[in-house]
């Protein structure tokens, strides 16, 4: 009963005060956010108008033949639409993207984009999302900016996208990067009792959803997924891991393809229930990040 009351109180707080709460949580950390109605010299159309944006992190892959940093913007669009309906806050939408289309975001389609090359750009946003399938590396400047961004109160969600016969290359590179930046042993397993699995939606004793392609019986006339332009996806289940700064979870690292789950609103690839679990996990992550 106490847990249910805490979840209700959190939702009520965010519905009533989302403009103030989401706009000012990171003021003390030095990260730049504004309350709606205040003027900003930096990108006022976005930072003044919306309570929440979810920037993608742009970075260089070791191969250009697989899913890149801007893969499947429809997943981001679905999550933000669901977030807006649950939290009742003003979220900048991602246009012309739904479910699996397009495969890669067009220029200007995402609601924000950053790199770790410039700290001034990073300071605008308290929440960042990074995904992909391939190995990658950060240079010394990018590593320094990542450390400063997290240390100043920023939050980074990193989710591996494993497609076809590929491996968990993005996860491996991310794990290595985080241990280089924050020290050996800094990447820790997130315990199932952590509030990120229970704050808005209670994800029970499983925690992080694991997205596996469902076995389906095709009816006469139905095409195989590959013919429909959908990839074969299979997440690698290493469990939820992250980097803690004190008691605050500051980086969430997943290898279970939750972003691919966001793309599957019709449940064609993973099943409708798994889509809902992936969306719930995404909302829980955002709400934890914006309230800590």
Q: Give the Cα-Cα-Cα angle 231, 256, 139 (nearest 5 degrees).
A: 95
Q: Which two tokens stand for residue 155?
A: 């939050």
**pLDDT value of position 89:** 85
Q: By the 8 A CB rule, do 99 and 264 touch?
A: yes
Cα 132 to Cα 56, 60, 204, distances in angstroms: 11, 10, 28
Please tell me the distance from the alpha carbon of residue 63 to that of residue 108, in angstroms, as a whole number: 23
Low-confidence ranges of the chain (pLDDT < 70): 1-45, 63-67, 163-166, 214-235
The interaxial angle of helices 140-151 and 169-182, nearest 10 deg, is 70
**pLDDT value of position 186:** 98
Which domains are assigned to the chain?
2-214+226-290 (3.40.50.12140)
Cα 18 to Cα 14, 90, 157, 247, 258, distances in angstroms: 5, 8, 21, 24, 25
**pLDDT value of position 33:** 39
**pLDDT value of position 11:** 36
177 Cβ partners below 8 Å, 6+ apart? 137, 138, 143, 146
Query: What does residue 188 show for φ and ψ, rounded to 5 degrees?
Result: -125, 155
Please tell me the distance from the alpha carbon of residue 236 to that of residue 14, in angstroms, as a whole number: 33
**pLDDT value of position 49:** 86
Q: Could you identify the residue written with the tokens 């400063």?
A: 148
Secondary element (H or E) of residue 82 = helix 73-87
Q: Are strands 248-254 and 241-245 parallel, antiparallel or unpaired?
A: antiparallel
Q: Could you identify the residue written with the tokens 């959190």?
A: 10
Q: Could you identify the residue written with the tokens 């950060």?
A: 138
Q: Where are the beta strands (DSSP E) in the chain?
A: 56-57, 113-114, 127-132, 155-160, 187-189, 241-245, 248-254
């Amino acid at each position: 009963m106490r847990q249910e009351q805490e979840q209700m109180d959190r939702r009520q707080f965010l519905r009533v005060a989302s403009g103030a709460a989401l706009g000012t949580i990171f003021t003390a950390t030095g990260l730049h956010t504004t309350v709606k109605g205040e003027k900003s010299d930096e990108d006022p159309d976005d930072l003044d108008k919306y309570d929440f944006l979810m920037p993608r992190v742009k970075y260089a892959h070791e191969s250009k033949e697989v899913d890149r940093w801007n893969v499947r913007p429809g997943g981001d669009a679905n999550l933000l639409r669901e977030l807006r309906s649950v939290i009742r806050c003003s979220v900048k939408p991602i246009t012309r993207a739904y479910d699996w289309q397009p495969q890669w975001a067009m220029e200007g389609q995402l609601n924000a984009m950053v790199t770790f090359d410039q700290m001034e750009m990073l300071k605008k946003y308290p929440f960042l999302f990074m995904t992909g399938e391939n190995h990658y590396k950060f240079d010394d400047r990018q590593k320094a900016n990542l450390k400063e961004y997290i240390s100043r109160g920023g939050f980074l969600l990193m989710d591996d996208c494993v497609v076809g016969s590929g491996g968990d290359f993005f996860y491996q590179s991310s794990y290595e990067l985080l241990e280089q930046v924050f020290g050996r042993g800094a990447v820790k397993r997130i315990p199932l009792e952590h509030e990120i699995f229970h704050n808005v939606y209670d994800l029970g004793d499983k925690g992080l959803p694991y997205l596996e392609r469902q076995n389906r019986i095709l009816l006469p006339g139905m095409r195989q997924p590959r013919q429909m332009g959908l990839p074969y996806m299979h997440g690698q289940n290493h469990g939820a891991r992250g980097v803690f700064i004190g008691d605050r979870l500051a980086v969430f690292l997943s290898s279970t393809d939750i972003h691919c789950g966001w793309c599957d609103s019709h449940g064609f690839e993973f099943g409708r229930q798994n889509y809902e679990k992936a969306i719930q996990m995404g909302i829980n992550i955002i709400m934890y990040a914006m309230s800590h």
